[in-house]
Amino acid sequence: MTTVHSITDLPQRRAVISADQQGDPHSRGETVATRVWIDEFQALECLYSAPANCSPKLRYPDLISGCVSLVFDGLDPVNRIFTFLHTKLVLRDQETARRQEDIWRPQYLLLLALQKSEQNRHPHPQFKLDHFTTACVALALEEPRAAQKVFEYARRNIAQRAASRVL
């Protein structure tokens, strides 16, 4: 069994990003719909309402994408995410309510690569986008100084999107 230590190790990621960059970039939305399990969404609500979330006030797509970026910038993100899914999320009530929100396309592509990875194929359990999104939110919020880091990554993502439009 091959162990994937980084999302850059996934050949599917390169293929997905390459395919996404072809054609008219304005023909696709900048965000993609996802869902977040209600416990993690309530934690996001706390971040959204936090006094530190100001100038500019970051909305849910920024906060969710900030969580994804924070997790993927850490050590062994693929293993951390799948470990969370296999040891914690799988044990929760699968009928748990979810909140539909949006995620920015660059972070969606990271999660899509996980969804298409070998670790999400037979004989392994099949996790969906909402599982990966929720895992990233949960793992990001376990970090020391989580709010500060999520805000920082969300702002970095905003700057990167703006810079890519200018080029």
C-beta atoms surrounding 9 within 10 Å: 14
Mean pLDDT computed over every residue of the chain: 87
Q: Which residues pair with 36 in a beta bridge?
A: 99
Q: Taking residues 132-148, what's their average pLDDT?
A: 98
The larger pLDDT score, comparing residue 23 to residue 122, is at 122
Q: What is the pLDDT of residues 36-68, one digit of tens each?
A: 999 999 999 999 999 999 989 999 999 999 999
pTM given for the model:
0.83
Return the H-helix or E-strand segment holding 84.
helix 77-87
Q: What is the pLDDT of residue 57?
A: 96
Say whether pLDDT at 85 is over 90. yes
Instruction: Place 28 in a pLDDT band, splitting at 50, 70 and 90.
Output: low
Instruction: Place 167 in a pLDDT band, splitting at 50, 70 and 90.
Output: low
Which of 36, 37, 134, 34 is CA-nearest to residue 93? 37
Say whether pLDDT at 132 is over 70. yes
